[in-house]
Amino acid sequence: MRASGRYVELDVRSVGAYAAPYLQEPVVDAQEIGDGNLNLVFRVQGESTSVIVKQALPYLRVAGESWPLTRHRARIEAEAISIHDKLSTGVLPSVLDFDNSMSAIVMQDLVGYSSWRDALIARSSPSGVAERVGRYCAQVLLGTSDVIMASRDRKLLKRDFVYSELCLVTEDLVFTAPYINAESNRFDPELSDLVDELHRDRALRAAAAQLRFAFKTRDEALIHGDLHTGSVMVAADGDTRVIDLEFAFFGPFGFDPAMLLANLAFARLSHEARGDFAFSRAVDEAASEYWASLADEASRLWDHREPWYQTFLARLLEDAGRFAGMEMIRRMVGLAHVKDVDSLPKPLRTSVQRQVIANGRELMVGPPVRAFDDLWSRAVTEEI
Ligand code: SR1
Ligand code: MG
């Protein structure tokens, strides 16, 4: 681990010298390529090789210096990558170094990969990705849970992942802001009536409060914490890397599957709205492959002398349905949106947004989800 001594915000001029020790050749170019909400991300290139430098800022990038944040998330991300990598090999990016004083991670440049979200928007669904992400979820969820992990090791590990500041960001942006008149909310004026309804909907607000409580208290596994389709990088040959683990913490089993499925539902509903029925079927298949792979791997890892598996999986799915509903609503009316839906032309965009909110609500307050097909059909229905 490198220790630079003091924190200095990197820029395209300084990052070349910072990253030079990790390249086998002179630096020829450095660019800031981050389009995320939180951090600086640079690509530093030599003639034939390149690395990524990801640096945490002392504030929320998308909101600016008015929303200060500690830089602990860089350590959390580096450690979570290392732990998840041991449980699910070949699906995390390689970390070359972590510099705690600079809050910077130097890592593998995933050249030629795109985010799963961008791939899906471009109508590409490389085979094997959904299956790989499902297996990753089962491996890290069970692998850091009391189902598998030795009790003492787990208690020690939990000390490194206390409820972080980014958990507070999630509490706010996912579980709270959409249900009150929060300044951070962003929505199209065509949704004003629905947004007012969200604020008045007591059943929905009660469900949100209950899920927020579950998020805060159910320390079941070291979850990724932000597993949307933009946190999955895919190559044309299906190679898959899960990135952006700064939100990792000990949270509920159902949260990661919920984020992933809700974001696949955005892809599905957007393609369906554009009339691309063939590709929307491909997204259906990806969602179902994801869940089947998670369930298969969980069953493989399970101790079959322990008969609790079916109940465990049923509860995970039920929670995933509820949390997915929350992700769906917040991406329509909260601070952080998704390209899949926002790139649609109006009035298509408005009708998809209204459908997503209705579907999210149904997942949050409707009957508990009992099977994967039930969850998925409620997430992608087009009934309004
Ligand atoms: C201000 S951070 C907004 C969102 O971006 C991240 O990817 C998380 O989803 C967070 O809620
Ligand atoms: Mg992210």
Ligand 1: nearest atom to the Cα of 67: 1
Position 328 scores a pLDDT of 99
State mean pLDDT over 345-350.
97
Q: Which ligand has its closest atom nearest to the C-alpha of 242?
A: 2
Among 173, 186, 231, 232, which is best to mutate for testing ligand 1, by the most ligand atoms less than 8 A from CB? 173
* CB-ligand 1 contact for 246 (6 Å cutoff): no
State the chain's mean pLDDT as an integer: 96
**Residue nearest atom 9 in ligand 1 by C-alpha distance:** 226
The proportion of the chain whose per-residue pLDDT surpasses 70, expressed as a percent, equals: 99
From the CB of 99, is ligand 1 less than 6 Å away? Answer: no
- pLDDT tens digits, one per residue of 168-207: 999 999 999 999 999 999 999 999 999 999 999 999 999 9
Counting ligand 1 atoms within 8 A of each CB, the residue from 54, 245, 335 with the most, and so the one to mutate, is 335
Kindly give the number of the ligand 1 atom that is closest to the alpha carbon of 247. 8
Query: What atom of ligand 1 comes closest to residue 60's alpha carbon?
Result: 1
The pocket of ion ligand 2, defined by CB under 5 A, consists of 36, 244
* 320 vs 3: which has the higher pLDDT: 320
Q: Please give the average per-residue pLDDT across 345-373, as a whole number.
A: 98
Q: Which of 30-34, 129-133, 291-295 has the lowest mean pLDDT?
A: 30-34
| The overall pTM is greater than 0.95 | yes
What pLDDT score does 383 carry? 82
Q: Token pair for residue 192?
A: 């004003």
The ligand whose atoms approach the alpha carbon of 168 most closely is 1
HEC per residue, the chain: CECCCCCCCCCCCCHHHHHHHHCCCCCCEEEECCCCCCEEEEEEECCCCEEEEEEECCEECCCEEEEECCCHHHHHHHHHHHHHHHHCCCCCCCEEEEECCCCEEEEECCCCCEEHHHHHHCCCCCCCHHHHHHHHHHHHHHHCCCCCCCHHHHHHHHHHCCCCHHHHHHHHHHHHHHHCCCCCCCCCHHHHHHHHHHHHCHHHHHHHHHHHHHHHHCCCEEECCCCCHHHEEECCCCCEEECCCCCCEEECCCHHHHHHHHHHHHHHHHHHHCCCHHHHHHHHHHHHHHHHHHHHHHHHHCCCCCCCHHHHHHHHHHHHHHHHHHHHHHHHHCCCCCHHHHCCCCCHHHHHHHHHHHHHHHHHHCCCCCCHHHHHHHHHCCCC
CA of 24 to the centre of ligand 1 (A): 34
* pLDDT at 360 > cutoff 80: yes
pLDDT of residue 303: 83
For ligand 1, is residue 37 a contact (CB within 6 Å)?
yes
Ligand 1 atom having least distance to the Cα of 62 = 1
> Which residue has a Cα nearest atom 3 of ligand 1?
336
- For ligand 1, atom 4, the nearest C-alpha belongs to 336
Instruction: Indicate the range of 189-193, 302-306, 329-333 predicted with least confidence.
Output: 302-306
pLDDT for the residue 384: 67
Q: Does any ligand 1 atom lie closer than 6 A to the CB of residue 259? A: no
At 5 the pLDDT is 81
Cβ proximity of 189 and 335 under 8 Å: no
Atom of ligand 1 nearest to the CA of 61: 1
Q: What distance in angstroms lies between residue 29's CA and the mean position of ligand 1's atoms?
A: 29
pLDDT at 4 over 80: no
Is the C-alpha dihedral spanning 279, 285, 289, 295 positive or negative?
Answer: positive
Protein residue with its CA nearest to atom 2 in ligand 1: 37
Whether 341 is in the pocket of ligand 1, judged by its Cβ within 6 Å, is no
Q: What is the pLDDT of residues 140-152, one digit of tens each?
A: 999 999 999 999 9
Give me the pLDDT at residue 305, please: 80
| pLDDT (tens digit per residue) in 89-126 | 999 999 999 999 999 999 999 999 999 999 999 999 99
Q: Whose CA is nearest to atom 8 of ligand 1?
A: 226
Residue 117 Cα to ligand 2 midpoint, Å, equals 12
Say if ligand 1 is within 6 A of residue 327 CB.
Answer: no
- What pLDDT, on the 0 to 100 scale, is given for residue 376? 98
Tell how far the Cα of 180 is from the centroid of ligand 1, in angstroms: 18
* 200 CB-side CA count, 13 A: 6
pLDDT digits (tens, 9 = 90+) for 222-255: 999 999 999 999 999 999 999 999 999 999 999 9
